Amino acid sequence: MVRILPISDPGTLDAAIEVLRRGEPVAIPTETVYGLAADATDPAAITSIYEAKGRPRFNPLIAHVANIEMARAHVTFSPLAERLAEAFWPGPLTLVLPLKETGKIHPLATAGLGTAAVRMPEGFARELIAEFGRPLAAPSANRSGRISPTTAQHVADDLGDRISLVLDGGNCRIGVESTILALNDGRLRLLRPGGVPVEAIEEAVGMAIERPGKQSGGGPVIAPGMLASHYAPDAQLRLNATEARPGEAIIRFGGTPLAGEDQAKSVMDLSPSCDLREAAANLFDLLKRADATGATGIAVAPVPGHGLGEAINDRLNRAAAPRN
Ligand code: AMP
Ligand code: MG
């Protein structure tokens, strides 16, 4: 039986540390989504993450750190990387940086690449890592290819028979995964849009961010693990819907009804007030709720592409992609 412990309970931090020290994974709340965390320096612990998720081993994990010193022990920061960390950490920005020879992040967590993806989360997750004293590898706490969890109950529903401990920190504040940036030769490339809008990063560093997928003609992003089909509900997703079809579950944006909604199985709204932050925070929960109606199709209204809308549309496109 999976234990669910509120992070506000006094014994929760110690209970989590005990499980992590045994080399087992613990599901933890972060500001983005719930993560399945384990010691990023321990190959057996990392293996237990891949096994619980059923995740392909060529898809590397993000190493979460408590402070910049912990990150510096494992990867090399260029002056630009320092500025980005200064501006956005703790927070939903992941930097892909060269591994140090003396670093201890295990190659299983980096899929044997010469780089590691690192991020400093906010709040309880950060406290836990500080107490543990080593980076935690933590992909989203869901079965591989499924919708990411934004509540402890989502995690328990998806992984409850495969892990022993879920820490409950309530709803995730941001609700989509981190923005991932690769830094090479003073250039910035977007590997995944996420919780920090690209515009905010460009403004902070006064540089344009390259989008490799778009520049090479709109094809899929060529980075390990950037799998096209992801976040997949059971129902087929129909994007940019302007009218409802009978029996569909409808996910609106901005409070605007779709034509024919009265024939729909259910109607929900990502953000009646057109707030992209609210929409991001609701996205995965509403996809799960729409799926749970048993509707054969989910129709999603258009969502603007600026700010957090880029991450929202990225997740929707992958949720709608053909399955392998
Ligand atoms: P997830 O853990 O599911 O949020 O996904 C993390 C993503 O980070 C993976 O899908 C990888 O594509 C990306 N990633 C992790 N490490 C690296 C790396 N060293 N180089 C490029 N991308 C990476
Ligand atoms: Mg994931």
Where residue 291 sits, what CATH number does that domain have? 3.40.50.11030
The closest-lying atom of ligand 1 relative to the alpha carbon of residue 148 is 3
CA dist list (Å): 225 to 62, 111, 179, 229, 299: 12, 10, 14, 11, 27
Report yes or no on 218 lying in a domain.
no
For residue 310, the model assigns a pLDDT of 97
**Ligand 1 atom with minimal separation from the 224 CA:** 12
Number of domains in the chain: 2
pLDDT at 161: 97
Cα of 197 vs its chain's centroid, Å: 14
Task: Find the 301 Cα to ligand 1 centroid distance in Å.
Answer: 29
Nearest one of 218, 215, 217, 213 to 191, comparing CA atoms: 213
CA distance 239 to 120: 33
Contact between 2 and 165 under an 8 Å Cβ cutoff? The reply is: yes
Question: What residues flank ligand 1, with Cβ below 6 Å?
Answer: 59-62, 96, 110, 113, 115-117, 139-140, 177, 180, 191, 223-226
CA of 259 to the centre of ligand 2 (A): 34
Number of H helices, E strands in the chain: 11, 14
Decide if 221 is inside a domain: no
Domain hosting residue 288, numbered range: 228-320
Could you read off the pLDDT of 141-196 as tens digits, one per residue? 999 999 999 999 999 999 999 999 999 999 999 999 999 999 988 899 999 999 99
| Rounded Cα–Cα distance for residues 155 and 163 (Å) | 10
Are 288 and 197 members of one domain?
no
pTM above 0.85? yes
Residue 296: the pLDDT is: 87
CATH number of the domain enclosing 30: 3.90.870.10
CA of 15 to the centre of ligand 2 (A): 25
Tracing tokens 């709109």 back to the chain, one arrives at: 218
Looking at the fold, whether 188 and 250 belong to one and the same domain comes out as no
Question: Residue 226: its pLDDT value, please?
Answer: 60
211 occurs within a structural domain: no
Residues of the chain with confidence (pLDDT) below 70: 213-229, 324
Q: What is the DSSP letter of 261?
A: G
